Amino acid sequence: MVRTKHLLHGIGISIILVIAAVSVWSCCAATPDMDKIRFTDLPPTIDIKPGSQASFDVTLGNFGNQYADVSINARSLPDTLTIVDGDEEKLLDMGKSVTYHITIGASDDIAPGTYQFEIADKSHVDQHTWETIDVRVRGGSMPTLAADAKSEQTEAEKSPGFGVVAMMSALLLAYRSGRARL
């Protein structure tokens, strides 16, 4: 009875593992060999200012043995960023590459910082692979070099310096260790 129970438990776990493996395999490519259409050129980082637009190119290559109609999918796009324009579906020949021109827009109220979203190829002959696109939002005007130097000087004048902090720490340690011996 106990042996049958363990056997059924093992079979149940095996079935769950097989279902999980098939689910992961069917949603996206597990290895480069399975990924017939993949990005060969992505931008390192896209710079944009609040209330403006920026364009970039991505290139997809067809490493499979079939022609494919391919478009670009996007997900995880922050609310303050939008895809303004992206090339439509293109025919991608075997062994060839095609470049897509994408334009994004940043809202006026987007905060400076780095944001990310993902893009993937979309076709009927390939399991897509998501790639991350980094977008760096720059704030308003950049401070001048002279203003930066002055603010650093002012901060340095206000700071007691490392030597004073180290000396105070050493005195406190000596005082405490002297009191511990009493």
What is the DSSP code string of 26-57? HHS-SSTTT-SEEEEE--S-EEE-TT-EEEEE
pLDDT at 26: 42
Q: In the beta sheet, which residues pair with residue 75? A: 118
What are the residue ranges of helices labelled H in the chain?
Answer: 2-27, 145-158, 162-180
pLDDT at 87: 77
Domain ranges of the chain: 1-29, 31-137
Residue 86 to residue 104: CA distance in whole angstroms = 9
Distance of CA 101 to the CA centre of its chain: 20
Residue 120 to residue 132: CA distance in whole angstroms = 9
**182 against 58, higher pLDDT:** 58
Mean pLDDT for 40-50 is: 95
CATH code assigned to 31-137: 2.60.40.10
Query: At residue 53, does pLDDT exceed 70?
Result: yes
Query: At residue 155, does pLDDT exceed 70?
Result: no
pLDDT at 8: 54
pLDDT in tens, 14-35: 555 444 444 444 445 445 557 8
Confidence of residue 39 (pLDDT cuts 50, 70, 90): very high
Confidence of residue 143 (pLDDT cuts 50, 70, 90): very low
Mean pLDDT for 105-111 is: 96
Mean pLDDT for 87-114 is: 95
Confidence of residue 60 (pLDDT cuts 50, 70, 90): very high
